[in-house]
Amino acid sequence: MSSGRSAVGGRLSRLLTIAAGLVFAALCAVSAVISHSDELLVGATEDGPPPETRVLSELDNSVPDPTWSESGRPGSPVVALTFDDGPDPVRTSDVLDVLSEHGVRGTFFVTGREVLAQPDMLKRIASEGHEIGLHSFNHARMGDLSSTQLLRQYELNQWMVLGTVGVKPVVARAPYSGAGIYHTTKELTAAELAQTEGGLTMIYSDLVARDFEGIPAAQIAAESLPEADRSAIVTLHDGPSDQPRHTAAGLRLLIPELKKRGYEFVTASEYGRVASTAPVPTSERVVATAVTTTAGLLGSLTGVLRLATVVLAPLLLVRALALIILPWRQAMVRRRSRRFRSGAKTPSETPPGVSIIVPAYNEEVGIAGALFSFLRQDYEGPIEIIMVDDGSSDATIARAARFPDVRILSKPNGGKASALNVGFDAASHDFCILVDGDTMFDATAVKRLMEAFDDDTVGAAAGYPMVGNRMANLLTQVQHVEYMVQCSLLRRAQEAVGAVSCMPGPVAAFRKEALDDIGGVPDVTLAEDADLTVALGAAGWKLRYIPDAVAWTEAPIDIRTLWKQRMRWTYGTLQVMWRHRKRSPSAEGERYRRRALALMSLDMIWLPFTPLADLFAILALATGRGGVLVAAVVFTVIIQLVTTWFAAVVDGERRTVLLYAPAQLLFFRYFNLLVLAGAVSSILAGRRQKWHKPKRLGMVPNAAVVPDAAVIPDAAVDGVEAPKTESDVNLEGEPKNRSPVGVGT
C-alpha cells in the first residue's frame, strides 16, 4: 500500500510541477500581452496630430464655452495652467517644485500608461492640491478610434487614477486637441461621444506653448501670455520625451509676469465652473484599486522582460559569434598540435592504464553492446572495465557476465553517483572513464580522451556524446541537431575560454588524483556530471573537451521522456549553481567558477526567455508596430541557423542535417522555457525532483562502435555487422564522426 501511495504521490507531484510551470509560462505570456494591451484593448495611432484639416466648429458644454470665443471668459481675468502627457519622474517633479514655490495650483492631464509607470508622482500631484484630468490611456488620436475604443481610453484612464489616488476625474483633454473651436470632423464626433456617453467635460486651450519642441524658456513664457486683461487656459507639457524641455524654467518667468499683471490662478474646472470629479461608490473604488495594483505588477514584470529582451538580443549575437570564432580557433590550434605531434619523434612507452566505470541499473537492453564497445578499443594501454550493478531487477548482470574480461560489482540501489564512487574506489589505474550504462564508444574514443592528459594539470576531459538513435523519429533528429550545437560548438567555445562546464555522463575521462582531490563524485544534486565538473574546475584543475572522442547514446523518443530528462537537467543545474555560489580558495579556480557559472546561467536561465521576444514581435505586428523588434527576432533566428550550419561544418556532417535545424530551433525555443518554468516552480514549491531513469529501447546499433577488422564472438553480441566508414574529414583534419549503421544523417 505504501508503494502505491508513493506512486500516486509521485504522479501528483509531477502534475503539480507541470501545472505550475505552465502557469508560470502563461504569466510570462500575459506580461508580454500587457506590453501591448493598450493597442489591443483601446486602440492606438501613429504619433502626431490628425492629418485631416481642422475647421471652425463648436462643442457645446466644453471649456472654454463656445460662446466665450468672441468676448472671452466673463469676470475678472484668470489663467489656468495645465500640463499634458505626464506624469514624468523628472519633468513633473520640476514643474511641481516651481508651482509650490509660487503657491500656484495647476491641472495635470495625465495618461493611464504613465500613471501605471509613475504612481508615486501622481500621488504627489494630488497631495499638493493640484487638479487631475484625463488625457486618454496611451495618447492616441481620438478621432481615429472606434466608439468602443474611445470610451475605453478614458475609462481605463479614470480607473488608473481612481485606483492610485482615490478620485475619479471627469474633466478630460483629448491628445492633439488644441483650441476648442477647431476640430476635424472625426475629432468633433469623438469629443461629443466622450461628453454624452462618457460623462466627461472636454477641456481645450486658449494658448499652447511649443515647449514640446524644446524652445527656450523665454519663448515658452512669451507664447503663454494672454492678451491684455483676457482670461486663458494655457497648455504646457510635462510628459516623457526624448526632446529637451524647458517647461519649468519657462514657468519661473511666466508666473511672476502673470502675477504682475494681476491674474488670478485657477484650475481648469474652476475656469469653466464645472465639476472636477464624480462621486465613487466603495465597491468601484475597491475594484479600481485591485485592477490598478494588478496592472502595475504585470507592467513591472513586462518592464523586466522588456529589459531582458533588450539585454538578450546583443547577448545572443555575441554568443553566436563566440560559437563560431572560438571553435574555429580551437580547431586550428588542435590541427597544428596534431601535425606537430605526428612529426615529432617520441620515445616508445606504454600509455597509462584506464579504468572504465559503468554504472548500470536495469540496462539489460544495451549493456552488452556497451561493454563490447569498451573491450574493442583501439588503445595500446591496459584497459580495466568495471561494471557496478546498482540493484538491477532485470537481466543486466546475466548479460554482463557473458564478458569474462569485465569485472562486475553489485550494490543496493543508491543512484548513479554512488555507483560511480564504488567503481572509482575499486579502480586500479590512475585514470578513470565514467560512462552511462547505455553508452557505446567509437573505436578510438579512449585513445582520443587519453591524449588530453599530456599536461599534469589537466584533471578531466569531456568527449562528444552523439545521438545514436537519431533516425527513430523527428524528435530524435532535432535532438541530434541540438547536440551538434550544445555538445560540440558550445564545449569547444567553453574550452577556449577555460570554462568547460560539464563532463557529460556518457563519455568523460578523469585523472584519479583529481577525483580524490574533490572527494569523488558528488551525490547531492541531480546533475552529478555538471556538479563534478564545476568542483574540479573550482579546485584549480584544467578541463578539456575532445570532440574526436565520440560516444553514442540513446535520446528520448517521446515528449514525456524528454520532459523528464530536461527537467532533471535544468533542476540539477540550478542546484549546481546554488551549491557552487561561494568563492573558490584559489585565484585560478575562482576565475573558472565565475566563467562557468556565468555561461551556465546564460544557457539554462536567460536564453530560454528568448521566446518572449517572439511574443512581443507578434503583438507588434498585430498592432502595426513591428519594425525593429520583428527585424531583431528574424536576425537572431538567422544567426542561430548560421550557428547550426557551422556546427555541421565543424563536425563534418552531411548538410542534409540542416533540414532539421528549423524544427530544432522552433521546438526547443519554446520547450526550454516551459522546462525552466517547471523547474523553478518545483523549487519554489519545495518539491525535490527525483532521478527519472528513461526506459532503454536498445536503439543504438552495436555496429556504430566496432572497428572494421574486429571479430565479434557470437556468444557476446548477436546481429552485429561491420561499420561503414567515411572518407570525409572534419574541420580539424580528422576523419569525421561516423554515423551508426542504419542510422544515417
Catalytic-role residue among 38, 84, 85, 614: 84
Cell of 742: 542504419
Cα dist from 30 to 24, 174, 205, 685, whole Å: 10, 29, 39, 22
Q: Measured between alpha carbons, how far is 311 from 305 in angstroms, rounded to an integer?
A: 10
Tell how strand 55-56 and strand 232-237 pair up: unpaired
Beta strands in 267-353, from DSSP E residues, in sequence order: 277-278
Our answer to whether residue 36 is catalytic in this structure is no
Q: Measured between alpha carbons, how far is 419 from 361 in angstroms, rounded to an integer?
A: 9
Q: How far is CA 636 from the centre of its chain?
A: 13
Other C-beta atoms closer than 10 Å to the C-beta of 76 total 10
Our answer to whether residue 211 is catalytic in this structure is no
Beta strands in 149-192, from DSSP E residues, in sequence order: 168-169, 171-172, 182-183
What is the identity of the amino acid at 568?
R
Beta bridge partners of 729: 735
Cα dist from 280 to 32, 123, 239, 323, 712, whole Å: 32, 18, 27, 60, 88
Other C-beta atoms closer than 10 Å to the C-beta of 43 total 22
Residue position matching grid coordinates 542510422: 743
What is the identity of the amino acid at 212?
F
Other C-beta atoms closer than 10 Å to the C-beta of 142 total 26
Contact at 8 Å (CB) between 23 and 30? no
State whether residue 383 is helix, strand or coil.
strand
Cell of 361: 541499473
Cell of 192: 461629443
Catalytic-role residue among 135, 237, 246, 480: 237
Please name which of 213, 236, 237, 212 lies closest in space to residue 225, comparing C-alpha atoms. Answer: 236
Q: Where are the alpha helices (DSSP H) in 366-510?
A: 367-375, 396-400, 416-426, 445-450, 474-483, 490-496
Beta bridge partners of 110: 134
The dihedral sign for the CA sequence 325, 326, 329, 335: negative
Region at 145 (left for phi over 0; alpha for psi -120 to 50; beta for the rest): beta
Residue position matching grid coordinates 533528429: 477
Residue position matching grid coordinates 553489485: 410
Tell how strand 431-434 and strand 354-360 pair up: parallel
Q: Measured between alpha carbons, how far is 44 from 625 in angstroms, rounded to an integer?
A: 10
Q: Mention every residue, 6+ apart, whose C-beta is less than 8 A from residue 536.
A: 459, 460, 503, 510, 514, 517, 518, 543
Tell how strand 277-278 and strand 168-169 pair up: antiparallel
Q: Measured between alpha carbons, how far is 380 from 490 in angstroms, rounded to an integer?
A: 31
Specify the DSSP element, H or E, that contains 232.
strand 232-237
Beta bridge partners of 207: 234
Please name which of 286, 277, 209 lies closest in space to residue 248, comparing C-alpha atoms. Answer: 209
Q: Measured between alpha carbons, how far is 55 from 184 in angstroms, rounded to an integer?
A: 6
Q: Measured between alpha carbons, how far is 526 from 572 in angstroms, rounded to an integer?
A: 4
Cell of 106: 495647476
Q: Mention every residue, 6+ apart, whose C-beta is less than 8 A from residue 395.
A: 364
By annotation, the residues acting in catalysis are 84, 237
